[in-house]
Amino acid sequence: MIRSELIQKIADENPHLYQRDVERIVNTIFEEITNAMARGDRVELRGFGAFSVKKRDARIGRNPRTGDSVEVEEKHVPFFKTGKLLRDRLNGK
């Protein structure tokens, strides 16, 4: 499912809301999650999962084409851990 499909589904299930309002709500939710992660905060949605940022240390990598050693800088990457309810639902429990 992509963002526009999510917006359309929410709008269809809530005919009392205008689509532009639903779009604004969905965009605000994603922006707040993104902003919190950019600050290094953890975002937890109970039953769904938790978004966090993990730090990857600098390391020596290898260029797969040439085999040369390459310095890979330290970086921060997004991480998502599923919640128990979501995990159970995916596994048919």
Q: Percent of the chain having pLDDT more than 70?
A: 100
Q: What are the structural domain ranges in the chain? A: 1-89
The band of 18, judged by pLDDT with boundaries at 50, 70 and 90, is very high
- How many angstroms separate the Cα of 64 from the Cα of each of 43, 61, 67, 70, 73? 36, 9, 5, 10, 17
Fold that domain 1-89 belongs to in CATH: HU Protein; Chain A (4.10.520)
Question: Could you report the per-residue pLDDT of 23-56, keeping only the tens digit for each?
Answer: 999 999 999 999 999 999 999 999 999 999 999 9
Quickly list DSSP for 8-52: HHHHHH-TTS-HHHHHHHHHHHHHHHHHHHHTT--EEETTTEEEE
CA distance 68 to 46: 45
Strand partners, 80: 51
Within 10 A of 9 (CB to CB), how many other CB atoms are there?
12
CA distance 88 to 93: 5
**Residue at token pair 């205008």:** 18
Average pLDDT, the chain: 95
Average pLDDT over residues 49-74: 95
What pLDDT, on the 0 to 100 scale, is given for residue 20?
95
